[in-house]
Chain A
Amino acid sequence: MRRSDLGEFEEVVLLTVAVMVPKAYSVIIAEELERETGQPVSTGAVHAALQRLEQKGYVSSVLGEATAERGGRRKRLFTVTALGGRVLTEVRSVRERLWERIVPPTMLEWS
């Protein structure tokens, strides 16, 4: 599995999609990320990341219902595919393995 396929921002977006399913679309994801990180996140950036994730096959999408505040326009709803799920798990386990190997004194030095 090619780990380098998943950029950092893409990884966060993919995670958020997993969190928000089945109501994951760019506006919600952007707001969620803004809340979590405290940094402004634009829908454009999220949308672009979603496009890339879709190209790689980690998410899939369908057009959802239209709402009045969108001016009667439909939104595109995203879900994590099986491949996407596997990649997320993989990434997580790599991280966790590394975390476990950090010795406690080192962690103490940071805090």
Chain B
Amino acid sequence: MSPKPPRIPDRILSWLIAPHLREEVLGDMHERFFRRAESLGEATARRRYWRDTLTYVRPGFIKRIRPVGVPHHRRFEELSSPSFFKRAMIQNYLKIAWRNVRNQPALSFLNVFGLALGLASCLLITLYVVDELSYDRFHKKADRIYRVDIDAVFGGTEQRLTQVGDPIGPTLQKDYPQVEAYVRFYNVNASKLVRNGQEIIDERRSVHADPTLFDVFTFPALYGNTKTALDAPNSVVITESTARRYFGTPDAVGKPLEVNRSLYTITAVIRDMPQNSHFHFDFIFPMKAVTYDWGNFLTSNFQTYVVLKEGVHYQEFNRNFAQVIERYFFPQAQQHMKMSSAEDFNRGGNKLVFALFPLTDIHLRSDRQDELEANGNIQFVYIFSAIALFVLLIACVNFMNLSTARSAKRAREVGIRKTMGTNRPALIGQFLTESTLTVFFSLLLALGITAAGMPFFNELAAKSLSVNQLFMFPVLPVLLLIPLVVGLLAGSYPAFFLSGFKPVAVLKGSIGSGFRKSNFRNALVVFQFATSVMLIIGTLIIYRQLNYIQTRDIGFNKQQVLIVNGTHALGSNIEPFKNELLTLPNVVAGTLSGFLPVSSSARNGLTLSKVPVSSPDNMFDTQNWFVDYDYLKTMGMTLTQGRNFSKDFGSDASAVVINESLAKLLGYQNPVGQKIYPVSNGTATPFTIIGVVKDFNYESLRQTVSPLLFSLRSNTELASFRVNTQDLPKLLQQVEAVWKKFPTGAQFSYRFMDEAFDTMYRAEQRVGQIALTFAGLAILIACLGLFGLATYMAEQRTKEIGIRKVLGASAGGIVTLLSRDFLKLVLIAILVASPVAWYVMNRWLQEFAYKINMEWWVFAVAGLLAIGIALLTVSFQSIKAALMNPVKSLRSE
């Protein structure tokens, strides 16, 4: 057997070497190989062959154009066959592409428009996702900043907090050199009454922070020095827009500001906090202005952020917290309760885990009890990315379908071209040029649609995105890649399918009929509709779940409750204010309490024990809300056992009303009359349970109701009134008039309970609406494709239909004939989509503590909807075809 040159280097060479040199180079290599094989043996020859291959890796051999100065006798025919990259060929491709567009304007429009819609959706969602992922990355040290979180389990109640005790930050910095800096937030979003001229404004975007705030976070100062801005207790840092609001100019440094009736001096004005930050404050007060029982490890009231030094891994750092607990936490805990060691504490399933949480993950991955603002959700990012991808895929599939469907017409063209000597790569090049061109036009149109749709999308997603962002770094390269990738993707099937025809078969006409039944095309239609059905089912279930949450019996009546904000401005006048309002005819009841069953209102954690001397295995965490006699009545809460607070009983100062979930935790057969104890060594006054209130939801319905108790104490932050009126504006006027009778200086400000409650679900509502919009778009695009396909089919079968009609077929029969094939595909799509949708939505529903069942009719509705839409789309064309006069279709040949 004669030796053979190795194949792989041959491949490499023929790919690498410029076409006009390929022949001589490969010839040289082979000849050398055989000569060497003879003299040195095959093995050596092979080795040398590999090595020699490398010597051809130089520009002189790789460059595709004729090297300058090559003598004239190297003529064109010596170069390889005309390649895709020749200018003349590209001009020809463009010309043919344009003619094709002009020949079938309707189909081309469907193609371009469908793709443009898909691209536009994809662009919008890309912007959304990019924005979501950009949160908190503007800080210079963003990748080294961490928030200290606690997961605590006490007597069966679990708490996941973003707040820790005040000494944690300083202790970490003192004991661990890995910590570069820390900053603490206290009293976040508390109401501050700020004087602006004669007016007093209730400002809520405020915080108390350590002076190190500006070492940790990056908030550039416009005026003043942020290094020292928070050193003095009466200093305050405000944002640019706040300065403009109060002083008309951003340069407000040194000016006085009256807050809660004391004077502060503005020490710095910083730029407004970027929209993609997980907190937004307008007023930053110094930590020194806070009166607090400092040095307490056991309470958790401070958001604490630390900066780790370069190269420190946070998960490794987390191991140090065990030491912190051992050294500081337990000694303090022992003074307050009967507990001797860590084992003692861990007995009974108690747990205390500190952990650092990366700053850049907070917006999307943190869902804890006291987040600074409502965060985003990484799941939504995934869901939207998936939707964007699906919509784009559907649009691409359309394109492929329409192109292959048109292939019958173009088969002749391909046949002629091949006969005339075009090779396959050139044909593929032609079709890819056409598709890339179409995608390019679609992209231009898509940019227009995106710009036009941006305001609606912003409203839908509560974002402030702008079209300009399309042309900034992370998006622009993607944008430029889209025509290439989508063009290749969408054009690849038609390109390879069409260029593979045998010219003889095509020109003889024996292929034509084979096109109509393309399994691949059918699979694509099934895919499109399966995706659409999945989106319909998903949207229906999201909507039903949201509706369920909002209409569920939440344990109290959120309708017609008016909340008056900032009532502590009334001071001692608050009781007269309440009483005077109660004299209004439409006000049914009123209560003074800062604690409301909507998130974003005040909370007050309390650790309790069933026995006088607390020990770790008999404690549990609850909420302790201070209310007055009328709270239950105003909120419309119902008692299941015992009684409400009453002025008839003198001893109600130490009485409490608990909720059902606390009752269950305590485990008493009849909790009324039982005593519960605050954490102590047995010296604290116990609470006596006088009643049990039906569970009501006060956090998001993603969570179950946590244990809670009411105790009687005045709390003047807010006043809530149950009203009963059809004429709200008039009532509001009356209430405002009463407010103005009292010398507060503050503006009248109110909100309604149901609105406040609904804000808890705004994120879900948005997702629902966005999903609905894009599901609609996906279906629309799929329908455009189906419409195009049906048009084409009807056109193809004009003669057949004509003959059928001549032979006596009815219009109905023909419509059925034409629609049947498509319906079959849609049915298959429904069968494929339902289980997948069921699985995905089941996963989503698992997140909710209170959820709907997925009922079969949801799937049925989605299926019927898909069938209906498909029928409607197809029938337009099939009816048109069925009603056509057979003479017209049969006359010409």
Residues in chain A within 8 A of chain B (CB atoms): 25-27, 30-31, 40, 42-45, 47-48, 51-52, 54-55, 57, 60-63, 66-67, 69-71, 73-76
Contact = CB atoms under 8 A, between A and B. Distances in A.
A27 B55 contact: no
B28 A51 contact: no
B55 A71 contact: no
Contact of B28 (A26, A40, A52, A66): A26
Contacts of B71: 54, 60-61
Per DSSP, chain B at the interface is helix
B850 interface: no
Contacts of B67: 51, 55
Interface residues of B, number: 29
Nearest to A25: B28
Given A43-B52, A69-B34, A74 B70 contact: no
Interface of B: 23-32, 34-35, 48, 51-56, 58, 60-61, 67-71, 73, 78
Nearest to B34: A69
A43 B32 contact: yes
A74 B27 contact: yes
22 contacts: A27-B28, A31-B35, A42-B55, A43-B55, A44-B52, A44-B53, A44-B54, A47-B28, A48-B61, A54-B70, A54-B71, A55-B68, A55-B69, A60-B71, A66-B27, A70-B30, A71-B26, A73-B23, A73-B24, A73-B26, A74-B23, A74-B27
Contacts, number: 79
A75 B69 CA distance: 21
Contact of B55 (A45, A69, A73, A74): A45
Nearest to B74: A61
B56 A44 contact: yes
Contacts of B56: 44, 47
Contact of B31 (A47, A54, A60, A69): A69
A27 B78 contact: no
A73 B60 contact: no
Contact of A74 (B24, B32, B53, B58): B24
A70 B53 CA distance: 16
A63 B24 contact: yes
Nearest to B23: A73
Given A69-B34, A71-B30, A76 B70 contact: no
A30 B70 CA distance: 22
Contact of A48 (B24, B32, B58, B69): B58
Contacts of B26: 71, 73
B60 A51 contact: yes
A47 B62 CA distance: 13
Interface centre among B24, B55, B67 (most CB of A within 10 A): B24
Nearest to A66: B27
Contacts of B51: 42
A88 to B, nearest CB: 19
B729 to A, nearest CB: 90
Given A31-B35, A54-B70, 16 more contacts: A27-B32, A42-B51, A43-B25, A43-B28, A45-B55, A47-B56, A57-B69, A63-B24, A63-B78, A66-B27, A67-B31, A69-B34, A70-B30, A74-B24, A75-B24, A75-B31
Given A74-B23, A75-B24, A27 B52 contact: no
A86 B34 CA distance: 36
B35 A76 contact: no
Nearest to A44: B55
Nearest to A43: B28
A76 B67 CA distance: 16
Contact of A69 (B30, B69, B70, B78): B30
Contacts of B58: 44, 48
B31 A70 contact: yes
A22 B31 CA distance: 18
B656 to A, nearest CB: 92
B53 to A, nearest CB: 8
Contacts of A42: 51-52, 55
**A-B interface, 7 closest residue pairs, ranked by CB to CB distance from nearest:** A44-B55, A73-B27, A70-B27, A42-B55, A44-B56, A42-B52, A43-B28
A63 B23 CA distance: 10
B25 to A, nearest CB: 7
B30 A73 contact: yes
B27 A40 contact: no
Nearest to A56: B69
